[in-house]
Amino acid sequence: MASRPVGMPAVFPALAGAGGLAAGGLVAWSLSRPVASFYYRAVLAMLGIFGTALIGALAVPAHMLAGRWGLAGLGALCVVAIGIARRLFIGRNA
């Protein structure tokens, strides 16, 4: 009798997703250190969490359509977007 393969418990991907969201919030919170208002820092942290969730949601179809190359393309797109945002919001001399 063949044994069935045992899958990964559902708690591991859920913990990884929660950890990724927490990391996005913590990075946004630490990058917003120059902002004096606690409220505005919290808003920026929530935007960081939302951005992390958005990229995570885009990673699933990218991986399903093109595998590792799709994830690499999504990562390259994110790096280009960060460069454009830095140039637009911080300036050319930063």
Q: Tens digits of per-residue pLDDT, 56-67?
A: 999 999 999 999
Overall domain count for the chain? 1
pLDDT at 50: 95
Domain assignment present for residue 21? The answer is: yes
Instruction: Determine contact, residues 74/58, Cβ cutoff 8 Å.
Output: yes
* Residue 28: domain span: 12-89
Domain assignment present for residue 18? The answer is: yes
Whether the predicted model's global pTM rises above the 0.75 cut: no
pLDDT at 88: 83
Domain assignment present for residue 39? The answer is: yes
**For residue 90, pLDDT beyond 70:** yes
Handedness of CA 38, 40, 46, 52 (dihedral sign): negative
Domain assignment present for residue 26? The answer is: yes
Domain assignment present for residue 5? The answer is: no
The three-state secondary structure class of 5 is coil
Question: What gap in Å lies between CA 70 and CA 59, rounded to an integer?
Answer: 8
Stretch 68-83: mean pLDDT: 93
**For residue 83, pLDDT beyond 90:** no
- In the block, residue with structure tokens 């969490």: 49
Domain assignment present for residue 3? The answer is: no
Instruction: Determine contact, residues 23/56, Cβ cutoff 8 Å.
Output: no
Domain assignment present for residue 54? The answer is: yes
- Specify the DSSP class assigned to residue 94: -
Domain assignment present for residue 1? The answer is: no
